[in-house]
Amino acid sequence: MGLLIGQPSILTIAGHPGEQRAAGRVKIFQNLIDAAIAQALSRFSKAMQGRPHFIQVMAGDKPALNAKNLDAFDAVFFFGAGPGNLNEQQMQDLLAFVKDDGKGFVAAHTGDNAFQQYPDYREMIGGLWNHPWTKSENLEVDLPVIVEDPSFPAMQSLPSAFMVHDEAAVHLPPYSRDNVRVLARLDLTEIDHDLARDPADNDVPIAWAKRYGKGRVFYSTLGHSDQSWDNPLVQRMFFDAIRWSMGLVEGNAEPLGQ
Ligand SMILES: [Zn+2]
């Protein structure tokens, strides 16, 4: 077992020893990963090594994202932002990987702020980043989080309520509680509303899940701060989300509505 993070890296994750399925393989999607994000992923990956699962990172030449290369993986872990550098065919391949092949897609933080030029990507991830919940001078604050669906695999290891030092966000459609299953939200009864950029922002999801065709998609707004990536609760959440996205554990992603 080894870990190598750099440009690029490929993360492979195996399930519990008792799980009958072959080891799942997860690709950390390196497109558009700047230094800060690479550092965050490095912290995440190092933390994952201490899990009762094992993670193997293989280094190699930067693989082009295409249908053939994606075939080797069971899930993509994505942490990027902005328009990205995938051409239309590459985006089609990524979407088909999830929708048609039934693979997983797990995204952190600005994941729904990426590829805005591709409406189908927004549909897959289930939202479009609008703006941080907080005013710009105060992006990172202690966020009180409430778990809404403790039965979902990515939530099972979390307390019903907890604090995390991070940045929360408000999302535009296709985000809707009718389109995604909200798993956790910012507890607006426990936070100083003077921090809010807009008092009208009263639905602030922290994590959601959804199906996309045959595939499984998980997204969490967490991941802005080093403290968050170092937080065992956050690490555990993403780790369990990855396992769900690969189909190693079951979880209901049906939207619960308003
Ligand atoms: Zn941020």
Q: How many domains does the chain have?
A: 1
**Any domain includes 69:** yes
Global pTM reads 0.84
CA 30 to ligand 1 center in whole angstroms: 17
Nearest to 225 by CA among 121, 112, 108: 108
Is the peptide bond prior to 8 cis by the omega test (within 30 degrees of 0)?
Answer: yes
CA 125 to ligand 1 center in whole angstroms: 17
Residue 20 belongs to what domain range?
10-245
CA 99 to ligand 1 center in whole angstroms: 28
**Any domain includes 3:** no
**Any domain includes 257:** no
Average pLDDT over every residue of 120-140: 93
CA 154 to ligand 1 center in whole angstroms: 21
What CATH number does residue 85 fall under?
3.40.50.880
CA 109 to ligand 1 center in whole angstroms: 7
DSSP states along 149-190: -TTSGGGTTS-SEEEEEE--EEEETT--TTTSEEEEEE-TTS
**Any domain includes 66:** yes
**Any domain includes 166:** yes
pLDDT in tens, 202-247: 999 999 999 999 999 999 999 887 788 788 898 889 888 988 988 8
pLDDT in tens, 92-107: 999 999 999 999 898 8
CA 31 to ligand 1 center in whole angstroms: 17
CA 22 to ligand 1 center in whole angstroms: 35
- How many H helices and E strands in the chain? 6, 12
3-state secondary structure 48-105: HHCCCCCEEEECCCCCCCCHHHHCCCCEEEECCCECCCCCHHHHHHHHHHHHCCCCEE
